[in-house]
Amino acid sequence: MRGSFVYAYQLLTSYFAEVRLVDPDLVFDIQTITCSFKRFIRCFWYFGPPKKTYKLLRPIVVIDGTFLKGRYQGTLLTAIAIDPSNHIFLLAFSVTNSKSIESWTYFLEMFGSNFHDFDTRFVVISDRNPGIMNVVPKMFPFAIHTFCALYILNNIKTTLESTRITFRMATEALTIIDFNKHMNVIKNTDLVGF
């Protein structure tokens, strides 16, 4: 992109209006503080796929956030799903000031109010961010909320290398019998010596 960050943020409303010409189902929300000039607070956008697309998606939604770098730091929050070919299907985005409970509430309320015609039972996968853990059960009471195995694996101390390997084998198990076998090994590990 050319130009400054200030100019780019000023063009957000115009950009979304142009995108809506191509995708009339686009949902966006931009919040600003009204001063002598409008100061950007946060925004949300959701590319509204046709209703028939929802029926093709797997009943899994992965939500996560990442920090933005540059002059205007913030956080990009995302929601994705998986299509039948195991490809990522982008659902919704939000640029906010942080990964706070308030930011996750805003994002998931906006997402939840536009994520319609999807099965009432679906799985939400996330990290263990307190904001996500507090908001998901309120916004999606029928969803099954689970945590990403990669985050859990990264939280197992490196001194427990055999446990890390066993946990990885459990996450990749193809049968319940194999999964339970690996989980029993982890349950029976003596952690006192570590």
Mark whether 103 and 180 lie in a shared domain.
Answer: no
Residue 111 sits in the same domain as residue 134:
yes
**183 and 162 share a domain?**
yes
Q: Note whether 143 and 171 are same-domain residues.
A: no
CA distance 118 to 111: 12
Per the structure, the complete domain to which residue 159 belongs is given by: 149-194
55 and 40 within one domain: yes
More confident residue, 156 or 84: 84
pLDDT value, residue 29: 86
pLDDT tens track for 177-193: 988 898 888 888 766 54
CB environment 23-60: b (16+ within 10 A), e (fewer)? eeebbbebeeeeeeeeebebbbbbebbeeeebeebeee
pTM of the model: 0.74
pLDDT at 194 (0 to 100): 42
Tell me: do 40 and 118 sit in the same domain: yes
Average pLDDT over residues 155-175: 78
**Quick one: which of 64, 68, 90 has its CA closest to 9?**
68
- How many structural domains are present in the chain? 2
Q: Tell whether 26 and 58 lie within a shared domain.
A: yes
Spatial separation of the C-alpha atoms in residues 108 and 115, rounded to whole Å: 10
115 plus 183 within the same structural domain = no
Are residues 167 and 114 both part of a single domain? no
User: Do 49 and 84 fall into the same domain?
Assistant: yes
Do 74 and 170 belong together in one domain?
A: no
pLDDT of residue 193: 45
Between 6 and 186, the more confident residue is 186
Residue 91 CA to residue 44 CA, distance in Å, equals: 11
- Does 155 share its domain with 90? no
Question: Does 3 score more than 80 pLDDT?
Answer: no
State pLDDT tens for residues 17-67.
888 888 888 888 888 776 666 677 888 988 766 566 667 788 888 888 888
pLDDT score of 55: 73
User: Which of helix, strand or coil describes residue 32?
Assistant: strand
